[in-house]
Amino acid sequence: MPRLLDPARAVTATAYLHIDLDVIDPSEAVANGYAVPGGLSIADVAALANEVAAGFALPAIAFTAWDPSADPGSRIPAAVITILDAILDAVQPVSG
């Protein structure tokens, strides 16, 4: 993953991280009616988000498209916390 981010790092130090929750495989958590089998694992999304957070300043982060009625087990909130933990693990404190 780090090499995939190199071209972006060459032109900017900041990124807007937007995570569509329906990329998560529904066997782990169902964000909405658009989620399809074969999606990314929660761990994969967390790892990707960690890589972005480690390489860029993140002035904004968005998690989108959660429909609670499509998530009867309410697993998406825990998935978001896992992903946020991975992001925060990579964020450097801002001094000033």
Residue 95 in this model has a pLDDT that exceeds 80 = no
* CA 72 – CA 90 distance, rounded (Å): 31
* pLDDT tens profile 41-72: 999 999 999 999 999 999 999 999 999 999 99
List the chain domain ranges: 2-90
Contacts of 75-82 with CB under 8 Å at 24 or more apart are 75/28, 75/29, 75/30, 76/21, 76/24, 76/29, 76/30, 76/31, 78/29, 79/21, 79/24, 79/28, 79/29, 79/42, 79/45, 80/21, 82/42, 82/43, 82/46
Give the pLDDT band (50/70/90) at residue 4. Answer: confident
Q: What is the pTM of this model?
A: 0.90
